[in-house]
Structure 1
């Protein structure tokens, strides 16, 4: 870009760490301005369609898309791993040994498997939260005899989807819930999921006493004393986030998510904006989900773009409509939700649920590609009307603490 004198106008360097749903949306949105140079740093050369990882394990999808189809032409892709953020000098150190400087940084490192604090789990259980984990698990499942017992630990969406996918192949699957089956679901939706799993032959162990206390090479032990035979144990209980922000001296919540205000700006540095699973706005993070990521990604970019333009960033607006769960290739559930992310009594199940889920999965990839072609075309967001009140309430000290502070003040006077 040049001014009237023929001199190149200054370019603003924006780096995006992480090429998942939020990172890709953010990178593509940033290309609205010709004077912004956008670099996406990701550990893999391909986009991981993470909501299909259970299909990779089951053999019905490879769960990857070429970044050439996902990123705007002006986004530079660097395949490397960021090992440190040096905020005072605005620089990143990469695993390859090189460094990259920035004017603004978008932190979109996503989430992965939480390290299980259960004896034997690290040695004998297979996590499934990342592409590499799913690719490692796939041949293990394929090599096991069809009658070999498979145990899935964790009854959130990933656990349910994985159990159903493998049971539909004819596997003998036990789903260990560690509590309630599908804890997010409305009781009516939960019953529908339980019925479908039963029809697939999945043994569901839920309720008190189903927390895993140990994993061995051929079994899973539960808190109530039961021992479940298991040739292959799949671990889907819980997610964590990379510790990059914490290691770099930035403020994080207990899980390691970068603490931000409602504009997604780091509480430590206005040049750093977080998005997706690794962001904790107002210490009230959104549900870790693709649904939140595709809304937060472009809004993180808008925060950066407004700062470049000298404008005041706006608070992010995110609202939810559902939770979608595949139940094999021929069934699913579309659990409706209120905008503030509470499950409602209404849902679509069976074949209609499967079709809606597949439509959404394809639609998300289309949405990312659309943003690459027409950055900024989507300029409005659904809004959770209860968010502002929740943020205000969270900012108030507990009553007991406030009274104690008041008493101390009175004593001083």
Structure 2
């Protein structure tokens, strides 16, 4: 390709910022980042925003390369045929390549009363709203956190550490991703903080009211504030634009992260579904996926075949208040193993991770191409086995549905 190439990045989260910064390696590439907010949302600190110990935002000046043009707006449609995007404020923006990094947010609750009376916290605005509600609620009032994934666990611990009466409703097992040893460590810390953990059969929430939650086994728990952390959804921009998506709405791509409909559209982060087998939604995957997406574009500009996706390092770190946490190790199939680091060391590792994310982004802004975690050796064979199993399962599942 000759002349200047314009790459538009939709979404200014971890994946989008990494991709935008990395693209500035080439002087003949112009990069525009479109994001609805003028600051980076530091999502791994949203539970701290709810607890009042952090504002969960980072200035783009600190993490975005100077050559990247920031447009504070929302994309309402992608026109793949015309290679342009339509903006909410009016007008269109043309592109040569598009990186789709719109991220994720709260899923529709699907439980009676949850939309009216529960508070999600997957976005900055949701977390800010919840923080205001918490501030206005007496410290002795019962707070119920629904969902026992990382967000639910972290939020329950954060609020309990302040002395609030917190119940964590799991809807199943506490910390489904965790190894049984790690789960016991988390349960012990929550008990120390005074969190009442409701798990097991019958703990699914069936109704949310203004002052209570009702469980499948008939129990009713008083709740002045109900926090909803169950599941993530993705924006429907790809589907609305006529692009192929998975059942959740993530953009379907090949193993280079290029859309199955158009090789000039490349996905990254939570909104990508490579080969219909997406990686776990997490900051751990978002940043490397952003680098991989940028590398796919750069390879095509260089006339080279882009590398396939592989991820060789998996883990999950969860804070349990300000003084404890857990770092759960996993194998290359992203399955938790027995090894974990808990307590104070776990908290310190989590803080290192939280501080390290913007540092990685800033490092890439200063020296584009320096990030290398997505190129770590290993992981390719595991990914291939997962893909073979996934492809074998798909026809069988279709047969059962028929």
- The TM-score with structure 1 as length reference comes to 0.94
Deviations 1:328-348 (A, max 9, x none): 000000111112211010111
Residue of structure 2 equivalent to 1:3 = none
Structure-2 separation of matches of 1:255 and 1:382: 30
Pair 1:274-2:264 in alignment: no
Counterparts of 1:230-245 in structure 2, within 5 Å, are: 230-245=223-238
Pair 1:305-2:298 in alignment: yes
Distance 1:297 1:153, change over 3 A: same
Shift of 1:310: 1.3
Structure-2 separation of matches of 1:347 and 1:288: 20
Structure-1 separation of matches of 2:357 and 2:68: 19
Shift of 1:393: 3.2
Contact 2:107 2:233 in 1 (8 A): yes
Shift of 1:395: 2.9
* Partner SS, residue 15 of structure 2: helix
Deviations 1:259-305 (A, max 9, x none): 00000000000110001000000111000000001111011000001
Pair 1:262-2:255 in alignment: yes
Structure-1 separation of matches of 2:192 and 2:399: 56
Shift of 1:316: 1.6
* Partner SS, residue 122 of structure 1: helix
Structure-2 separation of matches of 1:361 and 1:205: 29
Residue of structure 2 equivalent to 1:77 = 70
Distance 1:402 1:115, change over 3 A: closer
Contact 1:320 1:340 in 2 (8 A): no
Residue of structure 2 equivalent to 1:182 = 175
Gaps of 5+ in 1: 1-8, 405-413
* Partner SS, residue 89 of structure 1: coil
Counterpart of 2:197 (choices 195, 201, 204) is 204
Instruction: Quote the RMSD (CA, aligned, Å).
Output: 1.5
Residue of structure 1 equivalent to 2:376 = 381
Contact 1:295 1:381 in 2 (8 A): no
Structure-2 separation of matches of 1:192 and 1:60: 24
Deviations 1:67-97 (A, max 9, x none): 0111001000000000000001101001001
Structure-2 separation of matches of 1:17 and 1:127: 24
Contact 2:326 2:347 in 1 (8 A): yes
Residue of structure 1 equivalent to 2:42 = 49
Structure-2 separation of matches of 1:123 and 1:104: 40
- The TM-score with structure 2 as length reference comes to 0.96
Residue of structure 2 equivalent to 1:289 = 282
Pair 1:395-2:391 in alignment: yes
Counterparts of 1:29-48 in structure 2, within 5 Å, are: 29-48=22-41
Structure-1 separation of matches of 2:67 and 2:121: 33
Pair 1:109-2:102 in alignment: yes
Deviations 1:181-232 (A, max 9, x none): 0000000000010010000000000001111111010000100000000000
* Partner SS, residue 29 of structure 1: helix
Contact 1:148 1:171 in 2 (8 A): yes
Structure-2 separation of matches of 1:143 and 1:33: 51
Pair 1:18-2:11 in alignment: yes
Contact 2:360 2:371 in 1 (8 A): no
Paired residues, number: 396
Shift of 1:308: 1.2
Counterpart of 1:150 (choices 112, 128, 143) is 143
Structure-2 separation of matches of 1:73 and 1:187: 46
* Partner SS, residue 81 of structure 2: helix
* Partner SS, residue 389 of structure 2: helix
* Partner SS, residue 12 of structure 2: coil
Shift of 1:254: 0.4
Deviations 1:110-138 (A, max 9, x none): 00000100111000000000000000110
Counterpart of 2:160 (choices 152, 158, 167) is 167
Distance 1:260 1:24, change over 3 A: same
Contact 2:291 2:371 in 1 (8 A): no
Contact 1:292 1:320 in 2 (8 A): no
Residue of structure 2 equivalent to 1:407 = none
Structure-1 separation of matches of 2:32 and 2:358: 20
Structure-2 separation of matches of 1:301 and 1:22: 10
Pair 1:366-2:359 in alignment: yes
